[in-house]
């Protein structure tokens, strides 16, 4: 098995370049640690494809839709008091015992989905956000990382 230091050293040798600054290598390791091994990535759907009130609600909420592997993630993100609230729905219902992780680089909130595929997480810090759906017997499906600003 190749460890991180060996891998970075091999890349430096292959590139024939000076090593990257320490903070760049550290940031790369942190980002690599955020991956969900074996997962499929759900791509965002253009805002124009969202129906109803549109991509931005009257209350300042923002609707985001992601699609992959036959699943649709509808997320409503609301910023208030410097924190983020996420209300979401996974369709079609991915099955019993499905867990959804609402993730930031420093925090993961796990939720069981309701019978209609809904979940919610409140008090999430602003910044980068991703949602992962863990279905028994299937590969996890995760949304791309999106940046939510207050």
- SS3 category, 2: coil
User: What residues contact 138, with CB distance under 8 A and at least 6 apart?
Assistant: 69, 94
Element (H, E) at 29: helix 22-33
Confidence of residue 58 (pLDDT cuts 50, 70, 90): low
Q: How confident is the model at residue 125 (pLDDT cuts 50, 70, 90)?
A: very high
What mean pLDDT do residues 10-20 have? 76
Give residue 25's pLDDT: 79
Cα–Cα distance measured from residue 66 to residue 73, given in angstroms and rounded to the nearest whole number: 5
Residue 52 has pLDDT above 50, yes or no: no
pLDDT digits (tens, 9 = 90+) for 83-123: 999 999 999 999 989 999 999 999 999 999 999 999 999 99
- Locate 119 and state its tokens: 């979940």
- Global pTM? 0.75
Q: How many CA atoms lie within 13 A of 85 on its CB side?
A: 10
pLDDT for the residue numbered 78: 94
Q: What is the largest CA-CA distance in the chain?
A: 55
Q: Cβ–Cβ contacts within 10 Å for residue 80, how many?
A: 13
Percent of all residues in the chain with a pLDDT value above 90, rounded to a whole number: 51
Q: Exposed, middle or buried, 46 (CB in 10 Å: 0-12/13-18/19+)?
A: exposed
Q: Where are the domains of the chain?
A: 4-33, 40-148
CATH topology of domain 40-148: Immunoglobulin-like (2.60.40)
């Amino acid at each position: 098995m190749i460890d991180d230091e060996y891998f970075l050293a091999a890349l430096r040798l292959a590139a024939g370049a000076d090593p990257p600054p320490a903070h760049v290598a550290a940031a790369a390791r942190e980002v690599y640690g955020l991956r969900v091994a074996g997962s499929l990535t759900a791509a965002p759907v253009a805002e124009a494809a969202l129906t109803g009130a549109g991509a931005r609600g009257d209350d300042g909420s923002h609707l985001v839709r992601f699609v992959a592997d036959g699943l649709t993630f509808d997320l409503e993100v609301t910023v208030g008091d410097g924190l983020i609230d996420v209300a979401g729905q996974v369709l079609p219902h991915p099955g019993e015992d499905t867990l959804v992780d609402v993730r930031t680089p420093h925090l993961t909130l796990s939720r069981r989905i309701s019978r209609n595929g809904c979940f919610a997480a409140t008090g999430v810090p602003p910044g980068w956000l991703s949602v992962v759906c863990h279905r028994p017997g299937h590969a996890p499906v995760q949304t791309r990382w999106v940046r939510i600003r207050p």
